[in-house]
Amino acid sequence: MKNFLPAILAGLLLLSMHSYAQEIAVSGKVSAEDGSVLPGVNVSLKGTTRGVSTNSEGEYRITAPTGSTLVFSFIGFNSQEIAVGTQSIINVVLVNDVAQLQEVVVTGAYGNQRSSRATTYSAQVVADEQLNTIRQPNLNNSLAGKVAGIQVRSQSAAALGRQTEVRLRGASGLGTGTGALYVVDGTILPNADDINLDDVESVSVLQGPAASAQFGSQGANGAIVITLKRGKKTAGMGLTLNLGAQFENVYIMPNYQNSYSGGANGDLTKYTWKAGDPEEWKALEGKYYPDYNDDASWGPRMVGQEYIPWYAWYGGHSRSYQTATLDPQPDNGRDFYNTGVVLNNSVSFNTATERLTFKASYANQDIKGLIPNSGLKKNIFGIKTTYELNKHLEFSANINYVNWSLKGEIDDAYSNQSTGAFSQWFHRNLDMGIMKELRGLTTPDGIFASWNHASPATYDPSNPRNFYAGNYWYNPYTYYDLIDMVQTRDRLFGDVAFTYRVNSDLSLKATYRKQQNTTWAETKYSSRLNESGLQTTGNNARARGFYSTGNSYSNRQNLEFMANYNKTIQDFSINGFVGADFFQWVSKSNSANTNQGLSVPDLFTLANSVNDPTIANGRAEEKYRAVFGNASIGYRDFIYLEGTLRKDWYSTLPPNNNAVLSKSIGASFIFGDLIAKDSRWFSFGKLRASWGEIPQALGTTAETFGAYRYPGFAYGVGQFKWGNNYLMSTPDQLVDPEIRGSVVSQREIGVDLRFLSNKIGFSATYFDGTAEGFPFSLSINGASGFTSLLTNVGTITKKGIELKVDVTPIDIPNFRWNLLGTYSNLLENDVIEISKKYGISRTTNLGGVWGSTVPYMVHIEGQRWGQLYGNGIKRINGQPVLNSSGFYVNDPDVNFGSVLPQVTGGVQNTFNFLKDFTLNVNIDYQFGGKFASLSNMWGSYSGLTARTATVNDKGNSIRDAVADGGGIHVSGVNEAGEAVDYYVEAQDYYHNLYNNKVFDEFIYDLTFVKLRELALGYNLPVKSWGLSKYFQTATLSFVARNPVLIYAKTRDFDPSEVSAVYGETGQLPGTRGYGFNLRIGF
């Protein structure tokens, strides 16, 4: 073998040298029919990837073998093929192709691309110009309203690092739903957070199984396929610089009342100095103070009267021992937050030669959070290159590295230290400016000052802490200064590949793909929080003093082999690929945390835990082997038939039945080609129909396959021993030996039309499908030795329509208006069956904002997916039932509606005017869907919300006594169905909504219409300014993010940003941002 190796290498060298023998230099100029030069035209050698682009003068230069053919292609023009022969100068005039202007490239699995003309399924493509209107740091938000059938579940800008979710064509499964699959240049990512949007060339949204069957099990919920830009020859240096800054401010918060101050006492209390009280307090003798100790706002009316504020009792500052006026602070919650600053900068370098394409980029995001001491930093490096080793063999590499770091506590759970106070338990008279001024203020004993301290009447000189320490709450600024939370992530992903072109029709490709992620986290809560709080650990147990640390490692690897075949035989075109994919995922993690505080204050080690620390260790491994194929046959470029087959063998399924077969078939008919080409009104027409079926594995996310769910029976070894004996947890779930994944099938039919030279475009798609056999844990009788059974149950059906319209209403010199509208109606997303076999028609609680007290999410047979169900008002013939005291009577079985919106869509407007100006106005909307609000429930219980301080139908404050004409007017029927009518005390009314478990008032609608993106861009005239020797291009844009919530059924929250599927527990505020972007090409 050793003797053969030098001969093989020598042979390959000679073959490579021969490949470039007899080549000649060809140059020329490419222009349009009107004589204008065309920069950026692709000039390629047919059957290879060798190619160049024309420069700013339309000129090109390429080396080509004699007898070869050059292909000239440019968007909006007919491609031309010209035989080189022995010519050294070839000038080309390209002819406009109006129809081609509307064609886009759809990207599918493994980077395979196809013209939208040839696709048989619904595939919507969002180009980089549409995506990057305002350079949002999050790709999902950039898609909102731009794709028919998409629902983007955004998150507040204050929730740094929080992942958004995208639903395509509704939701499925018997849990809380699974989002779409993300694929970046063929590599699967868990989310869209680690992408530099300046690098994105296009996003193909593949919605139904017919489109995503090529991904196998992972594509069951649709796929968002992201194509990154590749290197190309450009005018100038090929260097592009993007500079951007946005400034985020709080926009939407609950509507608070501003009439009554804090506490549970409706009157102020006179202070009388007593022996043992601090001498300095004598200055406050005879003055009046409110109830500081209770954190509600059922206190006295605020009319500017003199009172003793919370901070007056603490020494050491300029406001000590002084009174103030009792005034409302309408913006105190809003004033707490920082102005968030988002710096988003990137630089990229492009180049290309006949054999090489190369692109390198670096992006940096540096975000100062709205919550004090929070921030996020992200660095993204990317290299994408191809190199033609010879006319047959090409090497390519696509390598991306992301470094991500998040600092601060991002918490929107109940009683968190920001919205958990302002919207749930707070005093409406607290001045946030003074709170900030006094951050870090302590007593001589080191107790941090709190607005929620005790009454001075309870002061005990032998135990001053009981007065000065916070009852439930700290000064929020002090709290955030006393915690330190850091999370980091390092992700490496991409691929390297070799492609061998056997001939102009057939190519072979081998790819190694990797997606590796390592994380590290550390959390510290100062022991001083425990010293400065009495019951504060009820809000956060970590306030005792806490330390935790953890790290994880995840490595996904694919080895892929693929053959592509493209051939035209007379009237037929054949395009297809076959391949194999070998996948392995390994995951490992370690974590530990202290329990019940720190023995030595502020010594942050695990060994310093008061009780034994908790230690956790996790590991998982998954594999699959897959073979796949796709074929498309076209006839005369107007009839297409396409099919996909993919078979996967999963390590996570039972060994004797671990193979699943995904499949799809579709056809399209370009009937517009049968209509006379000289038709003035009709430009294009296409009918398409497709069907797909994807069996899934056992995974609970789009990119995993359910390791160890089968066979189950995993015994856990306890951390501690009992004497010398191991302690082990006994599995109590029985696993069906025939367990399998669910099967998703869907069919669709659609039409694509264009009129009036493509000034009007219209697409419509109708789909319906079924998903059935979900792996689901059912409760069973514990007498069997098990309390649950993992088996396949359930059937869900979907039907819907998706519409897309693209119109150019005005196109005149110096002004052009393009309008893109999307509309989707999810006609049906119903749970047809859960399990007749086991007699189950409703799932247990799948998630709620307050356990099972406040309505929670379930699935109910015969109803729409994701019902909010539970405690509400009992009704007789639609009328609320009242008890003898005038309060609502409970009904524990109320269906409030589905969490899914029915209608989603958007309207994108682009105005080009005065040659160099562009205005983008992008609106998106949704109608329907429900969510539960814990903030408004507790905010009303505690007297914070505006509804607790309105006037009644008598014109009197509802907080006035009923005897004085106040109270809330309630009407309904009694248990006998007889009409009754009462006035009840306001505080009693809102307390009894909780006590009687009637929560109808706190179930809201997800409906909204919002102006999400606004941008005004100006292409700076660098040539006329004499700057062309420095810059090739320069564009300055002024942008706004979420500037206006145009309409919503609730104004207390931004419905597009509700934190959980079923509702919110302490929703962080909605924000809007303004900023600028500057893009310079060198």
Residues 316, 452, single domain; the answer is: yes
Q: Could you tell me the pTM of the whole model?
A: 0.90
Can you give the length of the chain in residues? 1082
Query: For residue 677, what pLDDT is reported?
Result: 66
Query: For residue 354, what pLDDT is reported?
Result: 84
Task: Give which of 485, 340, 339, 329 is closest to 422, Cα–Cα.
Answer: 329
Higher pLDDT, 412 or 713: 412
* Alpha helices by DSSP H, 306-355: 332-335
Categorize the per-residue pLDDT at 78 as very low, low, confident or very high, splitting at 50, 70 and 90: confident
Q: What is the DSSP string of 42-91?
A: EEEETTSS-EEE--TTSEEEEEEETT-EEEEE-TTB--EEEE-TT-SB--
| For residue 901, cis peptide bond before it (omega within 30 degrees of 0) | no
Q: Give the per-residue SS3 of 869-890.
A: EEEEECEECCEEEECCCCCECE
Residues 311, 452, single domain; the answer is: yes
Task: Give which of 767, 761, 634, 627 is closest to 685, Cα–Cα.
Answer: 761
Does residue 58 lie in a domain region? yes
Given a cut of 80, whether residue 255 has pLDDT beyond it is yes
How far does CA 395 lie from the centroid of its chain? 34
Does residue 187 lie in a domain region? yes
Given a cut of 60, whether residue 10 has pLDDT beyond it is no
User: Among the three residues 959, 980, 1000, which one is the final residue of a domain in this structure?
Assistant: 1000
Virtual CA dihedral for 403, 408, 411, 416, nearest 10 degrees?
Answer: 180
Does residue 369 lie in a domain region? no
Task: Give which of 38, 44, 100 is closest to 72, Cα–Cα.
Answer: 44
Q: What is the number of structural domains in the chain?
A: 4
Token representation of residue 39: 């920069």
180 Cβ contact list (under 8 Å, min separation 6): 166, 167, 168, 221, 222, 223, 224, 702
C-alpha 478/C-alpha 970 separation (Å) is 43
C-alpha 155/C-alpha 264 separation (Å) is 34
Given a cut of 60, whether residue 579 has pLDDT beyond it is yes
What are the two backbone dihedrals, phi and then psi, of residue 279, each rounded to the nearest 5 degrees?
-60, -35
Tens of pLDDT, residue by residue over 853-903, are 999 999 999 999 999 999 999 999 999 999 999 999 999 999 999 999 999
Does residue 541 lie in a domain region? no
Q: What percent of the chain has pLDDT over 90?
A: 80
Query: For residue 76, what pLDDT is reported?
Result: 65
Task: Give which of 409, 626, 439, 654 is closest to 521, Cα–Cα.
Answer: 409
Query: For residue 17, what pLDDT is reported?
Result: 37
Residues 118, 207, single domain; the answer is: yes
Task: Give which of 518, 161, 226, 165 is closest to 365, Cα–Cα.
Answer: 161
Tens of pLDDT, residue by residue over 653-689, are 999 999 999 999 999 999 988 885 667 788 899 999 9
What are the two backbone dihedrals, phi and then psi, of residue 409, each rounded to the nearest 5 degrees?
-90, 115
Mean pLDDT on 355-376? 96
Q: What is the DSSP string of 234-273?
A: -STT-EEEEEEEEEEEEEE---B--SB-SBS-SS-EE---
Token representation of residue 785: 């030795």
Token representation of residue 765: 């798609």
Lowest mean pLDDT across 370-384, 478-492, 641-655, 1021-1035: 1021-1035
Token representation of residue 113: 């691309």
Given a cut of 60, whether residue 14 has pLDDT beyond it is no
Tracing tokens 């009894």 back to the chain, one arrives at 992
Residues 62, 108, single domain; the answer is: no
Does residue 74 lie in a domain region? yes
Residues 39, 86, single domain; the answer is: yes
Residues 58, 75, single domain; the answer is: yes
Residues 72, 116, single domain; the answer is: no
- Pair 410, 160: CB distance under 8 Å: yes
Token representation of residue 58: 């339309």
- Pair 793, 835: CB distance under 8 Å: yes
* Beta strand extents in 502-608 (DSSP E only): 506-525, 546-569, 572-598
Q: How far is CA 381 from CA 195, 334, 404, in A?
A: 10, 37, 12
Lowest mean pLDDT across 74-88, 400-414, 805-819, 1062-1076: 74-88
Does residue 787 lie in a domain region? no
C-alpha 1055/C-alpha 929 separation (Å) is 10
Residues 274, 135, single domain; the answer is: no
How far does CA 764 lie from the centroid of its chain? 26
Tens of pLDDT, residue by residue over 449-484, are 999 999 999 999 999 999 999 999 999 999 999 999
Question: Both ends of the chain: CA-CA distance in Å?
Answer: 53
HSE-CB of 985 using CA atoms within 13 angstroms: 9
Query: For residue 442, what pLDDT is reported?
Result: 97
- Pair 429, 497: CB distance under 8 Å: no
Burial of 553 (0-12, 13-18, 19+ CB in 10 A): middle
C-alpha 83/C-alpha 26 separation (Å) is 11
Task: Give which of 971, 953, 994, 990 is closest to 878, Cα–Cα.
Answer: 971
What's the CATH number where 196 sits? Answer: 2.170.130.10
Q: What is the DSSP string of 377-390?
A: EEEEEEEEEEEESS
Helix axes 934-941, 986-995, angle to 10 degrees: 140
Tens of pLDDT, residue by residue over 982-1016, are 999 999 999 999 999 999 999 999 999 999 999 99
Mean pLDDT on 814-818? 95
893 Cβ contact list (under 8 Å, min separation 6): 869, 870
Token representation of residue 257: 């009342």
Residues 163, 75, single domain; the answer is: no
Token representation of residue 598: 């720190």
C-alpha 716/C-alpha 856 separation (Å) is 31
Mean pLDDT on 694-711? 92
C-alpha 281/C-alpha 445 separation (Å) is 17
Does residue 111 lie in a domain region? yes
Mean pLDDT on 414-439? 96
- Across the chain, mean pLDDT equals 92
Tens of pLDDT, residue by residue over 507-523, are 999 999 999 999 999 99
Token representation of residue 455: 């009454």
C-alpha 766/C-alpha 824 separation (Å) is 10
C-alpha 310/C-alpha 213 separation (Å) is 64
User: Among the three residues 472, 490, 514, which one is the final residue of a domain in this structure?
Assistant: 472
Does residue 985 lie in a domain region? yes
Tens of pLDDT, residue by residue over 288-331, are 999 999 999 999 999 999 999 999 999 999 999 999 999 999 99
How far does CA 637 lie from the centroid of its chain? 39
Query: For residue 1042, what pLDDT is reported?
Result: 96
What's the CATH number where 44 sits? Answer: 2.60.40.1120
Query: For residue 504, what pLDDT is reported?
Result: 86
Given a cut of 60, whether residue 21 has pLDDT beyond it is no
Residues 432, 309, single domain; the answer is: yes
Tens of pLDDT, residue by residue over 30-48, are 887 766 667 768 888 887 7
Q: 3-state SS of the chain: helix, strand, coil percent to 5?
A: 15, 50, 40
* Encoded amino acid at 806, one letter: D
Q: How far is CA 1007 from CA 533, 798, 907, in A?
A: 41, 21, 16
Domain that holds residue 963: 868-899+947-1000
Q: How far is CA 891 from CA 845, 851, 874, 885, 1054, in A?
A: 17, 17, 4, 17, 29
C-alpha 338/C-alpha 317 separation (Å) is 24
Query: For residue 960, what pLDDT is reported?
Result: 97
Query: For residue 56, what pLDDT is reported?
Result: 59
Categorize the per-residue pLDDT at 57 as very low, low, confident or very high, splitting at 50, 70 and 90: low
Residues 80, 126, single domain; the answer is: no
Residues 150, 225, single domain; the answer is: yes
Q: What is the CA radius of gyration of the chain?
A: 33
Given phi > 0 = left and psi -120 to 50 = alpha, else beta, which region is 1004? beta
User: Among the three residues 77, 97, 117, which one is the final residue of a domain in this structure?
Assistant: 97
